Chains A and B, each alone.
Chain A
């Protein structure tokens, strides 16, 4: 423990040695310099007059947004139902696709750790790296606008999420139970069904509901790129500068997100 002795005989405790202190200081210096550099690069093209003008703009938009146009609400019911379906069907499709991927990616269940596992891991990373809006953008270009593009976009993004958490859960199971089932002479499928699946079932259900909740949140904005749901109305209201409608849509989205979060928390609480 570094203790600094002063000439007058007083001693003072220090958290780090002088050398350590310099190293930490230097690390911070580098971090600050790098951030400042990034700041310079980022703000190169920024027109500051617009930025300083932002409070005025915000007040202006705020004034236009109030009050919300409540009479628009009945029009939103169908898109809301579509949004719910995009999230739910997308999650179901993702579950169906991600379960095999997770079993292929888990170290203890993969058929081949050198060939299949890296491929499954790559699928998981690729799916996780691309946000569902970008998947939707692509799918709208390929399939045309509509709910179907939204469902597939949600499914593609969720494979990585569910797959990653599920394969981690599979790797953390208690091997002795698997061993016990194997000792009875069970086949590979039976080991899977009676040794592994019961152990990961709570985690699996929790992950799926959690992802469903995130998907509700994401599917509300997929319409911005044309993939169906309430986001379509948001897009058209924004384009026509119908700010009172925008307020109402944002409120509806907020309410949907809060409700889905509450449902998901309740269900996860009941499972675990």
Chain B
């Protein structure tokens, strides 16, 4: 076999899509979509140049946050947010452990499995803010609506991940405990839960973190917490107060991530 000329033998990484026609079609489709999509973005330049000054004020607000002007409101909002986070996470865990066990295919009969999976699907497909709007309409303004929203959202998240975890456990210990003739509850308590406990702890801490972040959102639609304070601050263009609230949220999230890292390392 004759060696090809050096230039032609230069190695190239293989293209992602082998078929050249398909490759061109995908690229052309993507380009067409981009043109169409960017065409629908209406940019109001006059409004944007107005906004520029406000944007700068927001950035400078971030550099000089004003904690004092709305301190009472911020404190009240933070207390509501934090208490809402804790209670909703605890209630959410308490409800999602049985549902998670029920949604594990290897432990329960099929009707129970389908029922629990249906609950999870409903909870996961409704977004927090929409649930919050409906619940505020039902139970009135205030953190109780937020608490219900976050508990509801926790169920879908935690049960799904817990169920997937239970389906992945080592069947040998379960088999060994079943061989002792133990009733089903002790089978769960001694065969299943010890295997998933560290991960359940990790997931719960992660959800605590998410619930805190979401508690800032549900306040926008009236379900209590720091979101209401933030909404007021932004509506009044008090960007330095808004920046103070955002900085507090970021700091709490960072602290909770650090603590949950420590706890997870310790639980292993």
Contact = CB atoms under 8 A, between A and B. Distances in A.
A71 B137 CA distance: 25
B143 A57 contact: no
B146 to A, nearest CB: 9
A129 B253 contact: yes
Contact of A35 (B48, B55, B90): B90
Nearest to A133: B217
Contacts of A39: 83, 87
A129 B250 contact: yes
Contacts of A54: 138-139
- Of A126, A198, A217, most buried by chain B (CB within 10 Å of CB) is A126
A34 interface: yes
- Of A81, A134, A258, most buried by chain B (CB within 10 Å of CB) is A134
Nearest to B214: A131
Contacts of A42: 80, 83-84, 87, 143-144, 147
A218 B127 CA distance: 8
Interface in A210-265: 217-218, 220-221, 224-225, 234, 238, 250, 253-254, 257-258
Contacts of B257: 125
Interface residues of B, number: 58
B42 A221 contact: no
A51 B144 contact: yes
Interface in B7-65: 13, 33, 37-38, 40-44, 47-48, 50-51, 54-55, 58
A144 B130 contact: no
Interface string B114-147: 0000000000011101100110011110111001
A63 interface: no
Interface stretch (B67-75, B152-160, B229-237, B260-268): B229-237
Nearest to B242: A138
Interface string B185-204: 00000000000000000000
Given A129-B250, A137-B231, A217-B127, A144 B42 contact: no
A128 interface: yes
Contacts of A130: 213, 216, 246, 249-250
Interface residues of A, number: 56
B83 A129 contact: no
A250 B130 CA distance: 9
Nearest to B137: A61
A99 interface: no
B259 interface: no
Given A35-B86, A81-B40, A57 B138 contact: yes
B83 A38 contact: yes
A147 B40 contact: yes
A146 interface: yes
Given A142-B55, A143-B48, A258-B125, A82 B40 contact: yes
Contact of A43 (B37, B144, B220, B237): B144
Contacts of B127: 217-218, 220-221, 253
B254 interface: yes
Given A38-B87, A133-B217, A250-B130, 8 more contacts: A54-B138, A61-B137, A131-B214, A131-B216, A138-B234, A138-B242, A221-B130, A224-B220
13 contacts: A34-B86, A57-B138, A125-B254, A134-B217, A137-B230, A137-B231, A141-B235, A143-B51, A144-B44, A148-B42, A198-B13, A217-B127, A224-B221
